[in-house]
Amino acid sequence: MVAGSDPQDQNPNKYIYSVDLCSPIPFACDTCTTDSGYCQQSTDKKWTFCVGKYSTASFVGQDGGKGVQIYYTSPPGNDGLVRKGTVTVNCNPNAKTPQNVDIHNPVNVNSYQISFDSAAGCAGGGGLSGGSIFLIILIPGIALYFFGGMLYLGALKGNRGKEMVPNIEFWVTVPGLVQDGITFTITKVKGFMGKT
């Protein structure tokens, strides 16, 4: 959760702004009684204004993984106004906690703005992992092997039933080979445990 006030605020009744990107704020905020994601509260706690509900926040990534912007909209507040706010999380991989927090009091109810630097604003790696690429190739490859092989053996060779499965002799022996491998491994482990 990020909380702070606008350092340029000359208003004697200053406000504290609270934003939680991971879960609703743990206190009631105006009409957002249990689901506030962005809240404005006077320092004397007499006034609170819900800037946006946590459950309706929309996240938009910035180009190149440079950060993320979160847009909030509130239901009509006790004063009848609908507020809108923007939180900008700039990518800083070294910022484990929010840094360079910049909070501005709104000019109007549609201009709430907070920005800060955080590792949470960075894109997660910038591409697919090697394991993801392997699975993307492996799964369609297996499907192509079986369906292509069945089509070939059925249409061109005239095979029917289980004879349409490519390399059926190998696939029939696989369960026995797996059983042999498990038995071998258990025997080796028992032998190793007996020697210690």
What pLDDT is stored for residue 41 in this prediction?
Answer: 87
What pLDDT is stored for residue 151 in this prediction?
Answer: 92
CATH 2.70.130.10 applies to domain 2-121: yes
Is-above-0.95 flag for pTM? Answer: no
Q: Are 15 and 4 in contact (CB under 8 A)?
A: no
What pLDDT is stored for residue 196 in this prediction?
Answer: 54
Pairing between β-strand 112-118 and β-strand 84-91 as defined by DSSP bridges:
parallel
The domain segmentation of the chain, as residue ranges, is 2-121, 130-195
**Residues of the chain under the 70 pLDDT cut:** 1-13, 124-129, 195-196
